[in-house]
């Protein structure tokens, strides 16, 4: 992901996909299991995107290169949850 705009666009796309899954479930096009599996994957990717944005903003705030921020492993990002 190159910059904040790209990350924000990815976040928007994931949220739209999440809404689409809920609609598909409501229409009987996918099973609850399919929805849950994909929603979990979306949730993890969203957490990674938000984490990356926070890293970039913190680096910028402290005069560091925001481009040096890295997507963290899902296990790392998910361990932040309380």
Burial label, 65 (beta-carbon count in 10 A; 0-12, 13-18, 19+): exposed
Instruction: Calculate mean pLDDT across residues 31-54.
Output: 96
Q: Residue 2 above 80 pLDDT?
A: no
Q: Are 38 and 46 within 8 A, CB to CB?
A: no
- When the pLDDT of each residue in the chain is averaged and rounded to a whole number, the result is 94
Task: Could you list the beta-strand ranges (E) of 36-81.
Answer: none
Q: Is the pTM of this model over 0.85?
A: yes
């Amino acid at each position: 992901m190159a910059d904040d705009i790209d990350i924000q666009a990815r976040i928007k796309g994931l949220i739209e996909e999440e809404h689409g899954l809920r609609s598909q479930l409501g229409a009987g096009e996918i099973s609850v299991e399919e929805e849950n599996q994909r929603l979990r994957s979306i949730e993890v990717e969203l957490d990674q995107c938000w984490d990356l944005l926070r890293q970039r903003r913190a680096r910028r705030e402290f005069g560091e290169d925001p481009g040096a921020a890295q997507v963290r492993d899902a296990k790392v990002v998910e361990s932040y949850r309380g």
